[in-house]
Amino acid sequence: MTHLPRLLDPRTLPLSGSQLVEASAGTGKTFTIAMVYLRLVLGHGTRDAAHPAGPLTPPQILVVTFTEAATKELRDRIRARLTQAARWFRQKPDHENGQNDTTPAVFDVDPALAALRADYPEHDWPQCARRLELAAEWMDEAAVSTIHGWCNRMLREHAFDSQSPFSQRLETDNSEQLAEAARDYWRTYYYPLEPELLRSVTERWPDPTALLDAIKRLLEQAAKLPDTADPAIVLKQNQEERARIIESLKAPWRTWGQEVRDILDQGIANKAVNGRALQARYVDSWCNALHDWAHGDAPVPKLSDTAFHRLTPEGLAEAWKTGPAPTHAAFEHMRTLPQALANLPDPVSGLLCHAAKEVAKNFTTALKRQAIMGFDDLLTGLDTALRGPNGERLAQVIRSQFPVALIDEFQDTDPVQYRIFDRVYDIAQNRADCGLILIGDPKQAIYAFRGADLFTYLKARRAVDDRIHTLATNFRSTTAMVEAVNACFELTENNPDSAGAFLFKTPEDNPIPFQPAHARGRTDTLLIDGAAPPALTLSVFAPAPAKGQSEDQAACSKQAYREHMAQACASRVAYWLARAHTQQAGFRNDAGAFKPLGPADIAILVNTGHEATLVRDALAARGVRSVYLSDNESVFSSEAATDLYYWLCACAQPNDEPALRKAMATPTLGLSLAQLDALNTREDVWEERLEQFRNYHLIWQRQGVLPMIRRLLLEFNVAARLLARNAASTQGGERRLTDILHLAELLQEASFTIEGEHALTRFMAEQMASTTGDAGNRRMRLESDADRVRVVTVHKSKGLEYPAVFIPFACAYRPVEMEHIPQFWHDALGDLQFTLTPDDVSTHRADRERMGEDIRKTYVALTRARHCTWLGLAPLKDNTASAIDYLLGTRGRKGSDYTRCLDSLAQSQAVTQLESADVLPDTIAGVQSEPAEALTGARQPKRAAREHWWIGSYSSLVNAGRGVSVTSLEDSALTENYLEAEQETETTAATAGTPTSATSPMHRFAKGAQAGSFLHELLEWAGREGFGRIAQAPDLLRDQIARRCAVRNWQEWIAPLTDWLYQVITTPLPLPGGHSVRLADLRSARPEMEFWLESVDLDMGQLDAAVCRHTLNDHATRRPGLRAARLNGLLKGFMDLVFEYQGRYYVMDYKSNWLGPETRHYTPEAMQQAIVAHRYDIQYSLYLFALHRLLRARCGDQYEYGQQMGGAVYLFLRGIEGEAAGVHAECPPVQLMDALEALFCGTQESIA
């Protein structure tokens, strides 16, 4: 017989023996724990109520809860209470304070502390105060811990008594080891299977991850599972048995098929059947399907449910008009055929048993081999030690160390935890030498999916006998809100035909009764349009009846219910917030002060992430911002992670064209279609982006991945653009930016142990692909703590409170169905049972426990609000197992009958209102949850602010003069390739055209960045292979070009490009001074030579003047000028080719500029115009200066510019056709080198 709890007075609760405190929602559980803690520190109480050990210190008082967050909150609350109590005991009595009858006593401020102090004589107060002060100072060492943390401490501190290893390493997340055990099982047992058998496995579980999901709940029960044969044997035996049964079902149909067809055809011909129910085309289709099944390999005939029914005696009787329906053994057989096919032997039970046992064994072995302990091992380790040969001694040691233990949230205990505390404190014996206080609320036991076991709590409840106490005064909610919740649960609790509010009532007992809470009330009131809203609003969606249904039969699907309620809820939230903006919705306290309702005052409780998305999208559509507080997804599974991965690939390999294009096309970078198209059609744009990502590559190498990502975000203006994006969905810009910054931090952390860019990129890919792990630092962070509507799951809301609560999906539930394997339930003794072969009985038992937990979830949801709750209801098509419908008495009701039942409830309760769940029009609901402040760009200085020290290149110098952004980065590097800014005279194409018979097909070769890079890469490859070797190996040349063309689908260009490149290599090319040389004849050449030049306050204007003075004198006055700027830092570049010929050294550069459709357009004058337009004169002057310095350093005094410097040779690749065509050759005078030397060293004031 269950004992009813007595009302608890924290000041008189016995502190020895075992006590159970049941604290309903909002009744001050944490306050009570802190008060009991004070008493233990003071040694308070009478002989029956005090602890025999007298005053205790914080290290002696064990306080256990189940989360780190709750541990921190408890520690802080207890410390604050100790400090507060110490101040009370330091205060002087009333008469010494000069108080009289009209002066309120300070004791009235906190009656609990006043009563506690009154239990001590005045002369003991200073001693009590000192004891409390010391305890508050000692709280950092207090034994306030999670259950796992405490077990870990016990195993370490009592290693000899517990016989636990000293060297084991604790890991909070063993998911990777478990996943590896599953993968190892898959490799061992499934890889060797025959293809047909393997297919039968992968149809159920496509991969090891799916298999692990299926057996996870079985792993703890592995020891109870029966031994089964290897999967190969199980599958083979099942295959043979199924084949035997299917053959026995098919055999008679090889004869019956034609007979059935004849019978039905005869009935149709004689017009004996209903023409709508049985037609010739139906018969033909059904008989053909049965024939194919009987003579084929398919296990099941392709018949609809209607066909199966129509071919039974009952179905034929419905279709036959005249006379009795025909009879035949086939029709009788068809009556049982669907069930026989459904009951075919299934190997899933044997496969799951074998997999669970083997994976559990492999997992345990792997942890032992690696000397790793998981969280579950901490509990099982201490449990095993307490049951071992030294168990009694260990229990005595722990009791001596912690004479009193307070176990919070005990309703979420499990059998292992209960055994531990029972072994230490001997609950049923009510020991006088120690104290165990169990605090919990069985009505809030909602964590069965984590292993919590309410039936274990009930076992403990029976063990404490009549020592049960309750907290019954609700300090959270208004009186009306408390009364509304009471009414919901009392309706079913008091129904003699029900199983009680929580499904535990029997004629003899009710271990979890609902006892109505008492309200203390609140001093503030929520007002909407000048009046307090009903405490509980039942908002009903009344679907229209389907065709042929009456008003009492109308019902809706779960999907329609969710979609409608998301809109209805969002429209009301938006309306309330709109009224708050006009001071028509808010809180008024007893002093008359008014505070407008804010978005953060509203919580929307949901069951799943999908429901959260529905309601957040509906809010966003109305301009209401929200935040989802229950997102447990890994940040590596976010959309931002995919974009960031593409960025990493491009930054790790900036020369990889496909990777770079993928990165540029990511939504987060936000490039427009025109900008993306320019990458294909404008070589200058492509080269600029290529240069940009090469910069990121060097920043990554020199500074790390985090600075590189931040630089990318800055240069693409990602943060400002994402924050300015209107929150039109749950995936707003703020969410994406938060994920990017979070991922960047995780990558930087990983880079400390992972070497190299490619390894870090692989790490990112592995994390994105991984489905295991729940490490806290990888969980999505809250994107904002601004004033927003809170969307939170019911589970996450437990322990929290909100002024106003909306529960739009109260009717939604997920029943346990026959195909759910395994199924769990508890027997009459409270022991956990499970099955891998469900039947109707086991499914009913499992679903009843599911509904019980849903009822407790409903209790949690309904008790979160301070002022009011809005409940979204609807008559679902199947609501017989809905928790809220069970409580409100609407199970099985539909349409108007459903509404009448709720109306009756609302009429009987003044605090409850029934309304229609209409979606308010946008003209009423539209509102911004935050003041609409336009996000403007950052203010820019009137004069460009420049870095004092930066790295430049030819590209950045030239483009700075054209208004293109210059990348000036400290300790970074710019691109090795110059910026070719082609200004083409006709529209460029991204793909190569078709070669023609013109003078040179290269004039029709594709233009733009892609084609230019292609030609440069060909010549670079030829230079590295050796021009002479290529000239002598035409097959090698053709194969290389064919491979590169195939990637770009340019197969028609293989022959023209082969001829062209061979011509470039073997044609004599003019050199400065009148000589010529074939690339094939070069013996000393180096492609892509890199250089760095130090510059000391280099003046761009003077550099420009020097180059103009000493190069291309005829065009000196027509060159685009460089922007006035100074380079103080480094100048970097890459020369396409440096070669030596006849004792002189030359710089060669490849230009893919398109100057016209024929070779005659590549005249010296045209090439000089291109050089002037793009300031290639600056480029080759800088290249020659770098070569000049190199030769001077290597040759020393033997170096003479006029003797050893050959000059610059610029090949306009499309114009190479015969000797001297398409080549610009020039060797500037030594005076230019002297001028540049002075400029770079900062020793020359001006250059005339």
Helix (H, G, I), strand (E, B) or coil at 1136: strand
Opening angle at CA 890, ends 884 and 896, nearest 5: 130
| Cα(1024)–Cα(1000) distance, integer angstroms | 26
Is residue 1182 within 8 Å of 1216, Cβ to Cβ?
A: no
Contacts 24+ apart (CB under 8 A), 1078-1085: 1079/1022, 1079/1027, 1080/1027, 1080/1028, 1080/1030, 1080/1031, 1081/1028, 1082/1027, 1082/1028, 1082/1139, 1082/1140, 1082/1141, 1083/1028, 1083/1140, 1084/1139, 1084/1140, 1085/1023, 1085/1027, 1085/1137, 1085/1138, 1085/1139, 1085/1140
**Could you give the C-alpha distances from 860 to 446, 450, 605, 812, in angstroms and in order?**
9, 17, 10, 15
Q: Which of 908, 913, 899 is nearest to 870 (CA)?
A: 913
Beta strand 435-440 with 468-471: parallel, antiparallel or unpaired? unpaired
- How far is residue 618's CA from residue 600's CA, in Å, rounded to a whole number? 17
The candidate with the shortest Cα–Cα distance to 146, out of 69, 58, 38, 81, is 69
Cis peptide before 822 (omega within 30 of 0): yes
In whole angstroms, what separates CA 941 from the centre of its chain? 40
Closest CA to 984 of 1224, 1112, 1161: 1161
Q: Which of 1110, 1091, 1120 is nearest to 1207 (CA)?
A: 1110
Whether 780 contacts 179, CB under 8 Å = no
| Structure tokens belonging to residue 420 | 């531990």
User: Is 377 annotated in the active site?
Assistant: no
Give DSSP secondary structure letters for 136-162.
HHTGGG--EEEHHHHHHHHHHHTHHHH
3-state secondary structure of 38: helix
In 43-96, which residue ranges form alpha helices assigned H by DSSP? 68-90
Q: Please answer whether residues 764 and 645 qualify as being in contact, where contact means their C-beta atoms are separated by less than 8 angstroms.
A: yes
List Cβ neighbours of 708 (8 Å cut-off, separation of 6 or more). Answer: 651, 696, 699, 700
By the 8 A CB rule, do 595 and 587 touch?
yes
- 1171, with CB counted inside 10 A (0-12, 13-18, 19+), is buried
Strands 404-407 and 1069-1070: unpaired
Which member of 831, 1149, 1197, 1234 is catalytic? Answer: 1149
For residue 275 the two structure tokens come to 């023409």
- How long is the chain? 1248
Terminal Cα distance for the chain, rounded: 109
Query: Do residues 804 and 871 make contact, with C-beta atoms less than 8 angstroms apart?
Result: no
Q: Where do we find the tokens 């437990």? A: 798
Alpha carbon distances (Å) from 736 to 412, 631, 647, 722, 1074: 36, 14, 15, 8, 62
Query: Phi/psi of residue 688, each to 5°?
Result: -65, -45
d(CA 780, CA 736): 10
Virtual torsion, Cα 433, 439, 445, 447, nearest 10 deg: -70
3-state helix, strand, coil in the chain (%, to 5): 50, 15, 35
Q: Which amino acid is at 462?
A: R
| 561 token code pair | 């219910």
Cα–Cα distance, 69 to 1025 (Å, whole number):
64
Q: Any idea which residues carry the catalytic annotation?
A: 1149
